[in-house]
Structure 1
Amino acid sequence: MKNKTLAAWLAFLGGPLGLHRFYLRGLGDIWGWLFILPTALGLYGIQRVHTLGLDDHWSWVLIPLLGLSITAGALSALIFGLMAPEKWNTKFNPAGASDAAAGETNWLTVGALVCALLIGAGTLMASLAFSFQRYFEYQIEEAQKISQ
């Protein structure tokens, strides 16, 4: 029986690594493995900022990938946590009863929802703000070079 609360917490905490997909669908899930790629590229972007500084153009593209990966995990946690118990059990526990306890929502599920909403929204806004700020600063610098 796949537990909805555990799946929501795995999506929130391990979403960028696809842990929730591996829990629900097994290690053969291709989408679970594809979660790792943008996470790794985003971490590489952070490493580039530490090494090359904020003027590195590739980091503007790579860092938001990490943010989007974290946001996707948080969104998955929200979807899992808000799913009706009958629908959860029908989808992930087809051999069990539709009212099985594994699909029930409890306070730990609500905690996962609150954390996912808070961190997911904040991460998405921060990623977009970083990328757009660096892009527009670059545009201003290039415009100043042209005008001189």
Structure 2
Amino acid sequence: MSMERASNYKSKTVAAWLALLLGSLGVHRLYLYGWRDRLAWLHPLPTLAGIYGVQRMDLLGQDDRLSWLLIPLLGMMLVSAMLCGIIYGLKSDEKWDARHNPGQPARQNGWGAIIAVIASLLIGGTCLMATIAFSAQRYFESQVEAEAQSPSAKE
């Protein structure tokens, strides 16, 4: 019985690192909530669509409008995963154990969770700024292009 409880223990450090490394695919949610977690299964599709957008832009160039729509999906999923890593790593051990390990003896988490939080903050901030910059650039380029093609601009 005690061996079963030990195997069901959900480590805050492991959850933070899974969110950092594979969070955009929902692996951190599968770790915490199991295979029946519906939100975990919503992660892979937008992530893979965003990766497809990056490949499309690499193949077809910057003028491909579909990739303009798909690439920000990847950025949003990465930012979401990094935010989860930050939240997991900064949650107090008492609150973590009350939510994910009820009835089990408390364990102290070391520096691993804090290092995951720092890495998530760096990567998440970079992804967020890159996504905003990419989306804004594409929006303003489309506005300039539309202005150049309008009939009043040709007169």
Give 2:65's match in structure 1, choosing from 57, 66, 75.
57
In structure 2, the residue matched to 1:134 is 138
How far apart, CA to CA, are the structure 1 residues paired with 2:97 and 2:56?
44
Deviations 1:42-97 (A, max 9, x none): 01111110222111111111101001101111000011001111110010001213
- Secondary structure at the aligned position of 2:10 is classed as coil
- What stretches of structure 1 move > 4 A for 4+ residues in a row? none
Give 1:118's match in structure 2, choosing from 112, 115, 122.
122
Unaligned runs of 5+ in 2: 1-8
Deviations 1:86-117 (A, max 9, x none): 110010001213xx11xx33211111000000
In structure 1, the residue matched to 2:96 is 88
- TM-score normalised to the size of structure 1? 0.93
Could you tell me how far 1:128 is from its partner in structure 2?
A: 1.4
1:10 aligns with 2:18: yes
Residues 22 and 29 in structure 1, CA contact (< 8 A), matched pair in contact too:
yes
Give 1:24's match in structure 2, choosing from 28, 32, 52.
32
In structure 1, the residue matched to 2:4 is none
Aligned AA for 1:41?
A
1:72 aligns with 2:76: no
How far apart, CA to CA, are the structure 2 residues paired with 1:138 and 1:144?
10
How far apart, CA to CA, are the structure 2 residues paired with 1:56 and 1:135?
13
Unaligned runs of 5+ in 1: none
Alignment coverage as a number of residue pairs? 144
How far apart, CA to CA, are the structure 2 residues paired with 1:128 and 1:93?
37
Say which one has the larger Rg: 2
How far apart, CA to CA, are the structure 1 residues paired with 2:112 and 2:145?
49
